Amino acid sequence: MTWLLWKSIADWSATSQQLTMILWVLWVWFMVKIPKYYVHFRRYPQDLVLFILVKPFGYFHNFIKLYALLTLHKVSVSSYHPPQPWPRPTRRPAPSRLRKGVVGADR
């Protein structure tokens, strides 16, 4: 959408183009990104001081995801060695009241 906006205002003056793009960025920031966090900040107003970290954390998290995507080829199923299961416990004999021939064993 930003590209379409840029193409649609290509014949405007440079000042008008810059103002329009600044307004577009502000619109996207305040009308798309902020309502996403509105409920959280309404419940926990003390977290508003952390609001300035929302955008840098988003970029940092995107770099982590990009790194994971770029290194995905280094991991394969054959490189995963699941832990060995514990030895199965030996079965204890059933309590005497449930052994064959005892009353109630056929339940």
Q: Is residue 77 part of a domain?
A: no
Q: Is residue 52 part of a domain?
A: yes
Cα separation, 89 vs 84, whole angstroms: 15
Q: Is residue 94 part of a domain?
A: no
Please enumerate in sequence order all residues whose Cβ is within 8 A of that of 24, keeping only pairs 6 or more positions apart, or say none. Answer: 2, 5
Residue 77 has what pLDDT?
65
How far is C-alpha 86 from the chain's CA centre? 33
What pTM, to 2 d.p., does this model score?
A: 0.41
Mean pLDDT for all residues in the chain: 79
Domains in the chain: how many in total?
Answer: 1
Cα separation, 58 vs 64, whole angstroms: 10
**Residue recorded with tokens 């959408």:** 1
Q: Is residue 7 part of a domain?
A: yes
Q: Is residue 11 part of a domain?
A: yes
Q: Is residue 88 part of a domain?
A: no
Q: Is residue 91 part of a domain?
A: no
Cα separation, 17 vs 10, whole angstroms: 7
Q: Mind listing the pLDDT tens digit for each residue in 15-49?
A: 999 999 999 988 887 777 777 788 888 999 998 88
Q: Is residue 105 part of a domain?
A: no
* Token reading at 32: 């798309």
Domain that residue 11 falls in: 2-71
